[in-house]
Structures are given as structure tokens and as C-alpha cells.
Amino acid sequence: MAKRGPFKYFKTSPEIIRLAVMLYIRFRLSLRNVEDLLHERGVEVSHKTIRYWWHRFGSMFASTIRKRRIEGMKSSRWRWHLDEMFVKINGERHYLWRVVDHEGEVLESFVTRSRD
């Protein structure tokens, strides 16, 4: 038996539904802001409809994004490692760590004072 599509009984195209939900989630806009942005592009949708779409399709979109991200990380050669060490500065012991990617670029570093 064929699996029914999630957008089957909706009058609005799946692309517009996906755009509205992604605008709401990705850019942290309010429902009314998303409604205004779609209105500027000629799509008449209520903010209540966008909220309904978010509740209905948000988890589905999130799972597909997660799957793509995991697949991309597995196929990528992008690697990073963590350097960490203790350093004495003016007689005080500090804990230093930094995240370095495979090209040697420092992604993030942090220094904390250790408690003795």
C-alpha cells in the first residue's frame, strides 16, 4: 500500500508551507512577522495557519534536517580536536583549552582559573 503524502489535503503548496515554517523556526520571527513576509510575496496566509503548520510539520522538517546534517558529517573529511593544558600566569594556575579544526584554524578558545 502506498504511503500517503503529508501535504495531500492542503491547498497551499508544500514549498510555501516549508518556507513559512523555516522562516518561523530558523530566524526566530513571530508568527505575524512571517505572515507579513509572505504577504509581501503575494501569499495570503493567517498567522494561525502558520502556527498550525508548525505544529503539524515542524518535527518532520527537523528530522529531515538532522538526517542531512548527520549524513554530511559522516561523508565530510572535516575534523577537529581539542587542545587542553594547565598554565601558570602570575603564580595562579589557569586551565586553557582550544578547539582546532583539520586546517589548523582555532575555532574557539577559553581560559578559566583553576581552583586550588
Tell which wins on pLDDT, 42 or 83. Answer: 42
Q: Is the distance from CB of 84 to CB of 105 less than 8 angstroms?
A: no
Distance CA 14, CA 7 (A): 6
**Same structural domain, 68 and 96:** no
Q: In total, how many domains does the chain have? A: 2
Examine the domain organization and report whether 18 and 71 are in the same domain.
yes
Task: Give residues with Cβ within 8 angstroms of 82, minimum separation 6.
Answer: 97, 98, 99, 100
Chain centroid offset of residue 13 CA: 24
32-59: pLDDT as tens digits? 999 999 999 999 999 999 999 999 999 9
Task: Give residue 96's domain range.
Answer: 80-113
Is residue 4 assigned to a domain?
Answer: no
